């Protein structure tokens, strides 16, 4: 284990190299970036034996460390999962290139022609936990958007991430792009994370990928902007004008399709006029589907307690509460929500409009499953995560959201009066 002074020097060196690579990448051609990703995909497939061998070392380390079966599963790579990584790289390769896109242009009476053009952010730090595939996903999205990236994987996936990273570097080399465009922190020492979070000269934004513990730590300690969400406390309000069939379909999908993702429903708010009818039907259907319903004003599996409001269950559990009307639902969501994704089920357009207008979650939905909260389902291609901040990237963060812009102004010897 290296000492802290070494770590600091190592990270500064990584930062300098990333900054230099970013300056080159900012005007790398779309074709070169595409070619690098295709070559990286080829390399991952060609070197899958090597990757699986590296993964075996990580699995052994994980077993010795006593990782839970869920964590061991997240860590594990086999040919099918490596095929997934290859497909992911190819998908990002074939997406449109966001850099240089003209976002707006106009003429001024002074004679100036003004364009607003997409540019990369610069250097992105990505901090993730046990899934080694994030190495490829995050590396690819950052490269596509013209950013240099410093990847800091979980200590459990150290060897797997290293093997995948070697393939990304092979892709960069094949396309004549700077190898420092995608760097992997070469130590398991946790001091490297603290360094990365405070390297304001070399890092423009941090993206944490992982659980609430990791994201909270990053949000507290980072001295650079963070694109993230801490929790997805997703609410569904069932209005008195809800279509019962749509409500049942959407709620069951939103809760049970996958319970561990940030767009999974965590709390039902039910209009008092339909509590005994549709409300009771919803609770029954959820319980039949194996969901524990912690209810207030309804008979559920269990009575709800204060701790159930604003709770991200991430499991086959849902909180449910009877509310006075849409305004009470809005008030509940403002108080207990996380500004991630919230949904209204109603056939009354005025109620939907009020819900859309008076809430400010990154994603608001009407008569649709909250499980659609996903960059792919939004048509953005791959995503690096979902952000709930007000600044810059918000909602699903894909390649286009990893960019900034600049103004290009053209005159003809034009001077200001």
- Smallest separation (angstroms) from a copy of itself to the CB of 368: 3
Minimum CB distance to a copy of itself smaller for 245 or for 288: 245
Minimum CB distance to a copy of itself smaller for 77 or for 386: 386
Site string for a copy of itself, 151-190 (x = CB under 8 A): ----------------------------------------
Does 91 sit near a copy of itself (CB under 8 A)?
A: no
CB 218 within 8 A of CB 197: yes
Whole-number Å distance between alpha carbons of 226 and 47:
33
List the structure tokens of 287. 């319980």
Minimum CB distance to a copy of itself smaller for 219 or for 301: 219
- Smallest separation (angstroms) from a copy of itself to the CB of 127: 18
From the list 32-40, 301-309, 311-319, 404-412, the region that binds a copy of itself by CB under 8 A is: 404-412
Residue of 106, 288, 306, 307 that binds a copy of itself (CB under 8 A): 106
Whole-number Å distance between alpha carbons of 26 and 297:
57
From the list 2-10, 30-38, 127-135, 402-410, the region that binds a copy of itself by CB under 8 A is: 402-410
Minimum CB distance to a copy of itself smaller for 250 or for 291: 250
Whole-number Å distance between alpha carbons of 383 and 126:
13
Residue of 243, 276, 296, 348 that binds a copy of itself (CB under 8 A): 243
How many residues are there in the chain?
Answer: 417
Residue of 204, 239, 266, 383 that binds a copy of itself (CB under 8 A): 204
From the list 76-84, 206-214, 302-310, 408-416, the region that binds a copy of itself by CB under 8 A is: 408-416
Cα dist from 362 to 270, 344, 384, whole Å: 22, 14, 16
Tell me 96's DSSP state: P
Collapsing DSSP states into helix, strand and coil, what is residue 1?
A: coil
Cα dist from 347 to 64, 235, 245, whole Å: 55, 18, 12
- Smallest separation (angstroms) from a copy of itself to the CB of 406: 6
Minimum CB distance to a copy of itself smaller for 9 or for 23: 23
- Smallest separation (angstroms) from a copy of itself to the CB of 32: 14
Of 204, 200, 220, 44, the C-alpha closest to 132 is: 44
Does 259 sit near a copy of itself (CB under 8 A)?
A: no
List the structure tokens of 60. 């052994």
CB 231 within 8 A of CB 338: yes
Does 367 sit near a copy of itself (CB under 8 A)?
A: yes
Q: Checking DSSP bridges between strand 265-271 and strand 385-387, what pairing results, if any? A: unpaired
Mind spelling out the 3-state secondary structure of 156-207?
A: HHHHHHHHHHHHHHHHHHHCCCCHHHEEECCCCCCHHHHHHHHCCCCCCEEE
Residue of 12, 253, 259, 301 that binds a copy of itself (CB under 8 A): 253
Does 102 sit near a copy of itself (CB under 8 A)?
A: no
Of 392, 386, 74, the C-alpha closest to 234 is: 386
* Phi and psi angles of residue 133, each rounded to the nearest 5 degrees, phi first: -65, -20
From the list 3-11, 133-141, 239-247, 317-325, the region that binds a copy of itself by CB under 8 A is: 239-247
Whole-number Å distance between alpha carbons of 315 and 112:
57
Which residue has 């792009």 as its token pair? Answer: 177
Whole-number Å distance between alpha carbons of 267 and 295:
10
From the list 114-122, 269-277, 300-308, 310-318, the region that binds a copy of itself by CB under 8 A is: 114-122
Q: Alpha helix (H) ranges present in 186-315?
A: 191-198, 212-221, 244-256, 280-288
Residue of 351, 395, 397, 399 that binds a copy of itself (CB under 8 A): 395
Minimum CB distance to a copy of itself smaller for 45 or for 405: 405
CB 265 within 8 A of CB 256: no
Residue of 134, 371, 383, 385 that binds a copy of itself (CB under 8 A): 371
Question: How many chain residues interact with a copy of itself (CB under 8 A)?
Answer: 61
Does 291 sit near a copy of itself (CB under 8 A)?
A: no
Does 335 sit near a copy of itself (CB under 8 A)?
A: no
Among positions 15-74, residues that touch a copy of itself (CB under 8 A) are 23, 26-27
Per CB under 8 A, residues contacting a copy of itself are 23, 26-27, 106, 108, 110, 112, 114, 119, 121-122, 204-205, 225, 243, 245-246, 249-250, 252-254, 257, 334, 352, 356-358, 360-369, 371-372, 377-379, 390-392, 394-395, 404-416
């Amino acid at each position: 284990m290296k000492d802290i002074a070494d770590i600091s020097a190592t990270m500064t060196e990584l930062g300098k190299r990333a900054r230099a690579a970013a300056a080159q990448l900012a005007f790398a051609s779309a074709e070169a970036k595409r070619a690098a990703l295709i070559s990286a995909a080829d390399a991952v497939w060609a070197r899958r034996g090597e990757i699986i061998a590296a993964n075996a070392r990580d699995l052994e380390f994980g077993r010795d460390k006593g990782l839970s079966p869920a964590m061991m599963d997240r860590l594990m790579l086999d040919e099918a999962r490596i095929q997934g990584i290859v497909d992911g790289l190819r998908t990002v390769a074939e997406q449109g290139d966001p850099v240089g896109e003209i976002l707006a242009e106009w003429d001024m009476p002074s004679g100036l022609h003004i364009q607003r053009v997409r540019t990369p952010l610069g250097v992105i730090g990505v901090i993730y936990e046990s899934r080694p595939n994030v190495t490829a996903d995050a590396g690819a999205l950052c490269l596509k958007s013209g950013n240099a990236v410093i990847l800091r994987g979980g200590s459990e996936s150290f060897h797997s991430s290293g093997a995948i990273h070697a393939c990304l570097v092979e892709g960069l080399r094949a396309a004549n792009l700077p190898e420092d465009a995608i760097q992997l922190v070469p130590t398991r020492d946790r001091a490297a994370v603290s360094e990365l979070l405070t390297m304001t000269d070399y890092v423009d934004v941090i993206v944490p990928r992982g659980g609430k513990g990791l994201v909270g730590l990053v949000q507290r300690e980072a001295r650079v902007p963070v694109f993230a969400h801490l929790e997805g406390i997703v609410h569904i309000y069932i209005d008195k004008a809800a279509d019962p069939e749509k409500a049942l379909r959407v709620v069951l999908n939103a809760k049970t399709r996958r319970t561990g993702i940030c767009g999974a429903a965590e709390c039902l708010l039910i209009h008092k006029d339909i509590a005994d009818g549709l409300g009771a039907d919803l609770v029954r259907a959820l319980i039949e589907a194996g969901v524990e319903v912690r209810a207030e004003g309804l008979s559920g599996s269990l009575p709800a307690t204060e701790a159930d409001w604003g709770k991200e269950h991430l499991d086959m559990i849902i909180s449910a509460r009877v509310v006075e009307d849409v305004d009470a639902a809005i008030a509940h969501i403002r108080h207990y929500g996380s500004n991630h994704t919230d949904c209204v089920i109603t056939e009354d357009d005025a109620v939907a409009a009020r819900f859309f207008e008076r809430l400010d979650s990154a994603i608001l939905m009407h008569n649709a499953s909250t499980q659609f909260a996903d960059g792919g389902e939004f048509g953005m291609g791959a995503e690096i995560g979902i952000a709930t901040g007000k600044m810059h990237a918000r909602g699903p963060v894909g390649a286009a959201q990893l960019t900034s812009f600049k103004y290009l102004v053209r005159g003809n010897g034009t001077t200001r009066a």
